[in-house]
């Protein structure tokens, strides 16, 4: 089969391309921004890439066109596709029909932690010898790629609630029909798609309607909006988790280190394992408990799963240490929601104690650019000693107002190069610079490390 993928360079669609290629299909694709690392990864797989959305690419006459959710009506390529009569499908639909069919799907949903929890589950199953397949929205440290077919019965998928395609406005995850469903948390996000939290809850309810009675729902017991979803209807056995916030959860933790780097795992009050790892933050302890519950449902004993997590290598861009120069540590983190910012800072604070933390944020997600969560943003920086906010040219609201709310230790920058220079001038040995964005941030991390190196050499 010849599969042509429109919008191929996104993490999800690039993963679909890798899976299709591994399954023996001929894969071609196009995108408006074809650049590394996804372009080089796809080229290494032998995927022919086309820059842009010229309708002439349909002259390739593929057997099916897989359409990314970045595409919309009015685009000349989409209009020709509809006129042509060629078969087309969304990425989630193609994945469900050609990869997930007949497999034990473990789907990880929620506003935060999907990538990390999915990566943990895949690694635990891997260490157990189950050879899982997976499709994850990031690059797990224990694997070379974000997607693989695997030869085992299990397939782990990061289950996004974003809409599926221009012709299918359901959440992506309703296509996956999981046997094991993990619900990490639920907050308002994706303001470009959903008008309110209730509309997102309805999508989660649709997910609950397709988990079989022989399956398992793993749910965060400390998330009231998830509990409201379950009250709408759940026909599947449940196990709850919460590191500390919800006494009585099936899965809980006893911390040996305040930063979450070492803890005992408890299942219904009994100690079943111990985790000691390089990750920090209570949010990652919660992620681990969810992963352990899902792995137990898949047949892995909790003690073995906890031992596997001791070797978990994290995920790129999740509190990833990019470098240390003259005692100044520079981290890259994907946090782009106030809750994620707050929890990441809390974990780092518990790790570094009284050392200075400088938080740098690019409000880049569609929700952030709309200013939907700006009322919550200032408070999320309570754990930082110094804050820099980056104002991109397309940000449509007053970032200075948030800086004023934070206080005199907050500043706003308009240019990345100047921001790197300003940071390099003020950072001191022992400081921790936490750079947060769900995009490239114009490679601020590398620019800052270079500037720090030049200052140190001088």
Q: How far apart are CA 409 and CA 418, in angstroms?
A: 18
| pLDDT digits 0-9 by tens, 58-105 | 999 999 999 999 999 999 999 999 999 999 999 999 999 999 999 999
Average of per-residue pLDDT across 283-306: 97
> What residues contact residue 279 under an 8 Å CB cut-off, 6+ apart?
260, 261, 312, 314, 319
Provide the pLDDT for residue 36.
63
Please name which of 51, 62, 59 lies closest in space to residue 80, comparing C-alpha atoms.
59
> What residues contact residue 5 under an 8 Å CB cut-off, 6+ apart?
13, 16, 17, 20, 27, 28, 29, 30, 65, 66, 68, 91
**DSSP code at position 140:** B
- 358 within 8 A of 388, measured Cβ to Cβ: yes
Provide the pLDDT for residue 167.
95
> What residues contact residue 83 under an 8 Å CB cut-off, 6+ apart?
none
Q: How far apart are CA 344 and CA 350, in angstroms?
A: 10
35 band by pLDDT with thresholds 50, 70 and 90: low
- CB atoms under 10 Å from CB of 93, counted, come to 18
> Residues 100-134, buried b or exposed e (16+ Cβ, 10 A)?
beebbbbbbbbbbbbbbbbbbbbbbbbbbebebbb
| pLDDT digits 0-9 by tens, 107-161 | 999 988 899 999 999 999 999 999 999 999 877 888 888 899 999 999 999 999 9
Provide the pLDDT for residue 299.
97
Give all domains of the chain, ordered by start, each with its CATH number.
2-91 (3.40.50.720), 102-309 (3.40.1190.10), 320-457 (3.90.190.20)
83: phi then psi, degrees, rounded to nearest 5: -70, -30
pLDDT higher than 90, residue 360: yes
Run of H or E including 302:
helix 302-309
Average of per-residue pLDDT across 284-300: 97
> Residues 149-165, buried b or exposed e (16+ Cβ, 10 A)?
bbebbbbbbbbbbbbbb
């Amino acid at each position: 089969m010849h599969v042509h993928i429109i919008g191929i360079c996104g993490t999800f669609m690039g993963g679909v391309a890798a899976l299709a290629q591994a399954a023996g299909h001929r894969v071609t694709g196009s995108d408006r921004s074809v650049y590394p690392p996804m372009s080089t990864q796809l080229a290494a797989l032998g995927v022919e890439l086309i820059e842009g959305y010229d309708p002439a690419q349909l002259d390739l006459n593929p057997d099916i066109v897989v359409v990314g959710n970045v595409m919309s009506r009015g685009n000349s390529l989409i209009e020709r596709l509809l006129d042509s009569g060629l078969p087309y499908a969304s990425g989630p639909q193609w994945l469900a029909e050609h990869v997930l069919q007949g497999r034990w799907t473990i789907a990880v949903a929620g506003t935060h932690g999907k990538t990390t929890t999915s990566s943990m589950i895949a690694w635990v199953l891997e260490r157990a010898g189950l050879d899982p397949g997976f499709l994850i929205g990031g690059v797990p440290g224990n694997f070379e790629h974000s997607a693989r077919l695997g030869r085992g019965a299990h397939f782990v998928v990061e289950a996004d609630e974003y809409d599926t395609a221009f012709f299918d406005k359901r959440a992506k995850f309703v296509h996956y029909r999981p046997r094991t469903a993990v619900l990490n948390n639920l907050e308002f996000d994706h303001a470009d798609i959903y008008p309110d939290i209730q509309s997102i809850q309805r999508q989660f309810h649709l997910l609950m309607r397709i988990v079989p009675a022989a399956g398992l729902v793993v749910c965060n017991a400390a998330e009231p909006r998830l509990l409201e979803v379950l009250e709408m209807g759940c026909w599947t056995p449940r196990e709850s988790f919460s590191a500390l916030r919800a006494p009585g959860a099936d899965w809980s933790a006893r911390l040996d280190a305040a930063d979450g780097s070492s803890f005992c795992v408890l299942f219904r009050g009994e100690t079943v394992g111990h985790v000691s790892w390089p990750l920090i933050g209570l949010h990652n302890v919660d992620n681990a408990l969810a992963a352990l519950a899902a792995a137990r449902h898949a047949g892995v004993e909790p003690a073995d799963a906890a031992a596997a997590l001791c070797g978990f290598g994290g995920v790129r861009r999740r509190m990833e240490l990019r470098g240390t120069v003259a005692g100044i540590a520079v981290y890259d983190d994907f946090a782009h929601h106030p809750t994620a910012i707050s929890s990441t800072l809390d974990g780092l604070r518990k790790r570094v104690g009284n050392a200075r933390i400088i938080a740098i944020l690019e409000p880049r997600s569609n929700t952030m650019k709309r200013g939907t969560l700006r009322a919550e943003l200032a408070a999320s920086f309570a754990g930082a000693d110094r804050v820099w906010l980056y104002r991109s040219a397309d940000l449509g609201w007053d970032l200075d107002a948030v800086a004023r709310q934070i206080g005199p230790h907050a500043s706003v920058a308009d240019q990345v190069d100047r921001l790197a220079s300003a940071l390099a001038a003020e950072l001191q040995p022992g400081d921790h610079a936490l750079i947060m964005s769900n995009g490239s941030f114009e490679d601020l991390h590398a620019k800052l490390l270079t500037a720090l190196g030049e200052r140190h050499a001088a």
